[in-house]
Amino acid sequence: MSHSRSVQTLYIPRVAIIGLGLIGCSWVKALKKSKSVGLVSGFDRNIDSMQQALQAGLIDDYSLQINDVVNDADLIIISVPILAVAEVLGQIKSSISEKTILTDVGSVKGNISKDVSKVLGENFDRFVLGHPIAGSERSGVSAADENLFKRHKIILTPEQRTCERALDLVTDAWKITGGMVELMSVQRHDEVLAATSHLPHLLAYSLVDTLANDHENNDIFNYAAGGFRDFTRIASSSPIMWRDIFVGNKDEVLKALDLFTADLQQLRDVVANEDKTQMMGTFTRAKAARDHFTKILARRAYVDSMTSQIVNYVAKPGGKLSGEFRVPGDKSISHRSIMLGSLAEGTTEITGFLEGEDSLATLQSFRDMGVVIEGPHRGRVTVHGVGLHGLKTPPNALYLGNSGTSMRLLSGLMSAQSFDVEMTGDVSLSKRPMDRVANPLREMGAVIESADKGRPPLKIKGGQPLKGIHYVLPMASAQVKSCLLLAGLYAEGETTVIEPAPTRDHTERMLKGFGYPVDVDGPKVTVRPGGKLTATAIDVPSDISSAAFFMVAASIAKDSDITLQHVGINPTRVGVINILRQMGANIEMLNESEVGGEPVADLRIRSAQLKGIQIPEDQVPLAIDEFPAIFIAAACAEGTTVLTGAEELRVKESDRIQAMVEGMQALGVDAVGTEDGAIINGFGSEGSFNGGEVDSVDDHRIAMSFTIASLRANAPILIKDCANVATSFPGFVELASESGIQVAVENA
Ligand SMILES: O=C(O)C1=C[C@@H](OP(=O)(O)O)[C@@H](O)[C@H](O)C1
Ligand SMILES: C=C(OP(=O)(O)O)C(=O)O
């Protein structure tokens, strides 16, 4: 939980600081710099530190008598080693007045809470337990740095007894430093910090001590390189401080240490047995987690719209496209390659894998279920399949980010496993309907709990026998079809799905590619249990859904001529080509071939004057993700374009009808939304979009669509909230810029 009070004009007349170490001194330095404090009095057991702090201007006075310092203070900051807090409280107790608020900065909260109760009383309501997650192996007055807390988390652990006035003051005093205040319970704080901070310090001390004591290893420090340096930097931290932390948080530290010791013992066995697959399992899982953490630190991670950085695009008007290039791998095929590769027997090599957040969420889920997956590295992924019955219980809920495909396809698979699973997602995914998969799965015997109105999170109970189903899909959805087929691999008897209109058939094709029999008979697809998947090689073609933005861009921007290489042109995906061609687009298919059961071609697109059309309804499921881009084409067309039968657009990452119509209206286009589509009156060859601001509503395809609109705009377009483009099209801005679209990222 974050604490979102805004800092008003903070002024604290008298501050007392007890313990002149790095953290306390850095805090008062920041407070002084911002002129939020009057007089700062300091106390330390070491007189040199007090003199040094006075000279440095960090404190205005000091005393050898601790009570002189705290007398009449509005805020007392206790910044001493954890086990010294009780003694300090005992000494200053009689000088604490009614107005005085106290806080501390220690790395353990439980034992300080107990000290406060013991010394100041159970009901003392003006002590705010705090812990800034910042620091360095350097210590003392001279290391004080007013920027130490900038963009760092500051955890406050208020208790029931803590009064609001105290919490507000301490919160504001931290916010002044540029720190980000978060609230947490005492227990949770101690548990989390035991794992993320206390255990690594213990290990660093222990490793250096072991190596330093090893006489065989005398040369260790002479030859120690980056690994030793990086791993052991924190062994230079203050021994007293850390001694106290391990005593203060003993129980939680021991829990974390026991867990680690058991895992380390296991890893020892793995090394002793030269078990290369298990080694790759541990190392690739750890690498993925560390890389993700690096991205979080650099604020480049797309976690969800609440926590990731706000990214806006600014697209300048005009430009034309040229060149020959390749857009990233197909998202639908990338998801399925991980799923089927994991369930196969043997090792599946994937090339062209989409390194977007959606397909990475699927990849991470299978890692969480014990599958060893190497990569991705430049689109290469190696999946060490565990067979249809080899998945293991994941340690936590599977987090599927923004990805509807992951959650819906996994629902089918998870319903048939022996273990319980919970699946969660970001804000957008948490609003999307899951009943469409949960209901037919329940008919098959699955036990699934969802949140209100069938929304995520989904809790799926393990160990439920499934029976086959004969299911007529109420909507044209490849996700629902695929979900049921995957469940059908485990269900007793036949599972048949009948679709109302053709939808993407990657699941059927890929199952066959892995040697699993699938009967396709017109709109009817049937699978039976008892087969097995055999590992294979998968070459993922470029995603036609990503290519669509460039198809429209090159069509609407005068004098453009581009070639998009190796694009998947599966007949169940080519709606966008059919629709654009019907509107007059000049799209040529070159070098047609087939890779791993999927047809591909290079697409050459040259500018053309488009005309409005009534979009044939049979093309709608074949172009379902491309409508945001097609809407931009329609706005540039001569005449009216009418879309019907596309109500599914309202339940994608956003309500795409509303988002596109509102955005186009904001840019001066004559467009209206209807229940199941839109009517767009194109401005034709002489017209243009106005410049202005549009909201992508955190939907990747809306963001990219308005980016290409700039090619035909008369002023810049600011597109808000575009971080989500990373879900399907990493590197979009770079590729768009190279091709001639004048777009740049602006971090808000
Ligand atoms: O099966 C798939 O990979 C997908 C199917 C489509 O969803 P629906 O099945 O909901 O139409 C599509 O919109 C989505 O981007 C990917
Ligand atoms: C609808 C989409 O994806 P998903 O359903 O997997 O979130 C999409 O990528 O446009």
Tell me the per-residue pLDDT of 413-453, one tens digit each, with 9 for 90 and over.
999 999 999 999 999 999 999 999 999 999 999 999 999 99
Question: Across residues 539-544, what is the average pLDDT?
Answer: 98
Please report the atom of ligand 2 found closest to the CA of residue 335. Answer: 6
Amino acid identity at 198: H
Q: How confident is the model at residue 306 (pLDDT cuts 50, 70, 90)?
A: very low
Q: Is ligand 1 within 6 A of the CB of residue 403?
A: no
What is the average pLDDT score of the chain?
94
Cβ contact 537:348 at 8 Å: yes
Whether cis (ω within 30° of 0) applies to the bond prior to 529 is no
Find, among 660, 664, 675, 555, the residue nearest to 605 by Cα: 555
Q: Is ligand 2 within 6 A of the CB of residue 653?
A: yes
Distance in angstroms (rounded) separating the CA atoms of residues 423 and 455: 11
Distance in angstroms (rounded) separating the CA atoms of residues 695 and 660: 9
State in Å: Cα 505 to ligand 1 middle.
Answer: 10
Give the residue extent of every domain in the chain.
Answer: 12-184, 194-274, 311-325+541-747, 331-539
Cβ contact 426:432 at 8 Å: no
Please give the class, per CATH, of domain 194-274. Answer: mainly alpha
Q: Whose CA is nearest to atom 4 of ligand 2?
A: 404
pLDDT at residue number 476:
97
What fold is seen in the domain 331-539? Answer: UDP-n-acetylglucosamine1-carboxyvinyl-transferase; Chain (3.65.10)
pLDDT at residue number 295:
72
Angle value at C-alpha 268, between 262 and 269, nearest 5 degrees: 95
Q: Which ligand is closest in space to the CA of residue 359?
A: 2
Probe target for ligand 2 pocket from 504, 653, 732, with the most ligand atoms within 8 Å of CB? 653
pLDDT digits (tens, 9 = 90+) for 316-340: 999 999 999 999 999 999 999 999 9
Two structure tokens written together for 391: 């998945």
Find, among 396, 371, 544, 387, the residue nearest to 457 by Cα: 396
**For the complex shown, is ipTM > 0.95?**
yes
Higher pLDDT among residues 303 and 198, named by residue: 198
Please report the atom of ligand 1 found closest to the CA of residue 478. Answer: 9
Q: Is ligand 2 within 6 A of the CB of residue 505?
A: no
Task: Residue count of the chain, please give it.
Answer: 748
Question: Across residues 3-18, what is the average pLDDT?
Answer: 80
pLDDT at residue number 305:
40
Q: How confident is the model at residue 238 (pLDDT cuts 50, 70, 90)?
A: confident
State in Å: Cα 589 to ligand 2 middle.
Answer: 26
CA 473 and chain centroid, separation: 32
The residues that are catalytic are 625
The Cβ of residue 647 has, within 10 Å, a number of other Cβ atoms equal to 14
Domain 311-325+541-747: give its CATH code: 3.65.10.10
pLDDT at residue number 748:
58
Three-state DSSP class for residue 630 = helix
Q: How confident is the model at residue 139 (pLDDT cuts 50, 70, 90)?
A: confident
Strand order in the sheet with 372-377: 372-377, 380-384, 347-351, 537-539
State in Å: Cα 479 to ligand 2 middle.
Answer: 10
Q: What are the CA-CA distances from residue 399 to residues 148, 303, 355, 382, 429 (Å)?
A: 32, 10, 17, 22, 11
pLDDT at residue number 300:
54
Q: Identical fold at 194-274 and 331-539? A: no
pLDDT at residue number 430:
95
Distance in angstroms (rounded) separating the CA atoms of residues 592 and 250: 66
- 3-class DSSP string for 166-219: HHHHHHHHHHCCCCEEEECCHHHHHHHHHHHHHHHHHHHHHHHHHHHHCHHHCC
State in Å: Cα 481 to ligand 1 middle.
Answer: 10
Domain 12-184: give its CATH code: 3.40.50.720
Could you tell me which residues are annotated as the binding site for 3-phosphoshikimate?
A: 331-332, 336, 477, 479, 625, 652
pLDDT digits (tens, 9 = 90+) for 544-602: 999 999 999 999 999 999 999 999 999 999 999 999 999 999 999 999 999 989 999 99
Please report the atom of ligand 1 found closest to the CA of residue 476. Answer: 11
pLDDT over threshold 50, residue 312: yes
pLDDT at residue number 297:
64
The Cβ of residue 452 has, within 10 Å, a number of other Cβ atoms equal to 5
User: Is the C-alpha dihedral spanning 725, 730, 733, 737 positive or negative?
Assistant: negative
pLDDT at residue number 28:
97
pLDDT over threshold 50, residue 40: yes
- 3-class DSSP string for 242-267: HHHHHHHCHHHHHHHHHHHHHHHHHH
- Percent of the chain past pLDDT 70, that is, above it, reads 95
Amino acid identity at 514: F
pLDDT digits (tens, 9 = 90+) for 463-497: 999 999 999 999 999 999 999 999 999 999 999 99
pLDDT over threshold 90, residue 303: no
Q: Is ligand 2 within 6 A of the CB of residue 626?
A: no
How many Å is the Cα radius of gyration of the chain? 30
